[in-house]
């Protein structure tokens, strides 16, 4: 089990990116959160099996016809043992 703190840059606000992240995280049984930042970036915490996290990161990097990720900063973070779901947080 691993946990990462990710900052995503690009066209990631106002295009359904948080919902996109939630859907991909829940489909992979990952936990964590996603939140818009005031500077136009998005902050993600994701926790789970490394292979599933790698798959999640590849999916959000690829985006869709509205989402355009230009940069992702990824750092390890401390695991939250009792975290149960992936949710969005309000800025």
Catalytic residues: 18, 36
Q: Determine the Cα–Cα distance for residues 91 and 89; give it in Å rounded to an integer.
A: 6
Q: Which helix (H) or strand (E) holds 44?
A: strand 42-48
Q: Determine the Cα–Cα distance for residues 65 and 33; give it in Å rounded to an integer.
A: 23
């Amino acid at each position: 089990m691993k946990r990462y703190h990710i900052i995503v840059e690009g066209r990631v606000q106002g295009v359904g990116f948080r919902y996109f992240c939630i859907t991909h995280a829940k489909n992979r049984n990952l936990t964590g959160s996603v939140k818009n930042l005031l500077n136009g970036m998005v902050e993600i915490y994701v926790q789970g099996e490394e292979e599933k996290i790698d798959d999640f990161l590849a999916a959000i990097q690829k985006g869709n016809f509205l989402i355009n990720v230009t940069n992702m900063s990824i750092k390890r973070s401390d695991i939250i043992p009792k975290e149960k779901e992936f949710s969005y947080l309000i800025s």
